[in-house]
Amino acid sequence: MKARLLPEPSPYLDIVANQFSTVTAENEMKWALTEPVQGQHTWAAADRLVDFAEQNHQVVRGHTLVWHNQLPKWVTSQPWTPAELRAILKKHITDEVTHFRGRIWAWDVVNEAFNGDGTLRDTMWLRALGPDYIADAFRWAHQADPKAKLFYNDCNIEGINAKSTAVLALVTKLRAEGVPIHGVGLQTHLGTQYDFPHTMQDNLERFAALDVDLAITEADVRVPLPVDGDDEARQVDAYQRALRACLAVSRCVSYTVWGVGDSYSWVPGTFPGQGWPLLYDDQLKPKAAYRAVQHDLSEAPNWAPHRSGRGAGRG
């Protein structure tokens, strides 16, 4: 699950501590937060999250090392040469992964590098460094912590489509070149007004055939407001179908929900008129989707310890 840690004990923290086996930082490990001024790192918030996880026998997913959003202004406001920008990116990855070396189970190394049509997203990294920045990021992260699992993470790649096929081609290429990429994260931001990606299990299986792990990294199911009974049923169905697709593929090792209670979700601020996306409501009461996910996990008692995050109990 995604955790937003609070400064003192609370019902929220009790749920985080007792209902999850991994945590993922929502913002605390993003570059704008960890190095707002060049050369001056602010690790306190991220350290607090990792400390909390270790105290509660949880593992941590690091999110995220390379993205086109939430970058420090000092990175985006200067006309760096390609050589300078490459050195800056390498130092960022090396500094952050080294700081948490041995304490992070898996990193989302590169996040959202593709457009929906399968072309590479036009970012400052692609423009300055070319497509090889992706392979370099994985190599630098592996050098800093050889034991961490390294993932590529993206949205709208749950089913078989142009984007997921492009990611598949990327992973195939990187694996053939010996690049240390160990998994693919499927964000799985769904909505009850959309069809479920029916080819999700087939998609997971074709990635697993590349000898990489899979993870559901940011699951939520948003609903047009106000909520009615049909919306609730569709939300339950979407959560269960995503989980069951993961459970059916042996290389799918983690199921993480993107938040705990609805009042903490990113959805209302990004999609006006939509909300209610998580397993707990805004009063931190478990919803029907929680009970459905909990039931399915209880039916899979041998699921690996890091098949985590699920919001409904330990994996």
Over the stretch 147-205, which tens digit does the pLDDT of each residue have? 999 999 999 999 999 999 999 999 999 999 999 999 999 999 999 999 999 999 999 99
Q: Which two tokens stand for residue 266?
A: 């990113």
- Kindly report, residue by residue over 72-93, the tens digit of the pLDDT: 999 999 999 999 999 999 999 9
Point out the catalytic residue in the list 112, 158, 205, 299.
112
Point out the catalytic residue in the list 26, 28, 96, 218.
218
- Kindly report, residue by residue over 109-127, the tens digit of the pLDDT: 999 999 999 999 999 999 9
Which residues have a Cβ under 8 Å from the Cβ of 103 and sit 6 or more positions away?
50, 54, 60
Contact 54, 61 (CB under 8 A): no
The H or E element spanning position 15 is helix 11-19
* 139 pLDDT above the threshold of 60: yes
pLDDT of residue 300: 85
* 306 pLDDT above the threshold of 60: no
Q: What is the CA angle 243-244-250, rounded to 5?
A: 95
Specify the DSSP class assigned to residue 24.
E
Q: Is 205 a catalytic residue?
A: no
SS (H, E, C) 52-98: HHHHCCCEEEEEEEECCCCCCHHHHCCCCCHHHHHHHHHHHHHHHHH
Q: Is 218 a catalytic residue?
A: yes
Domains and CATH numbers, the chain: 2-298 (3.20.20.80)
Mean pLDDT value of segment 34-56: 96
Which residues have a Cβ under 8 Å from the Cβ of 98 and sit 6 or more positions away?
144, 145
Q: Which two tokens stand for residue 274?
A: 């939509």
Mean pLDDT value of segment 265-287: 97
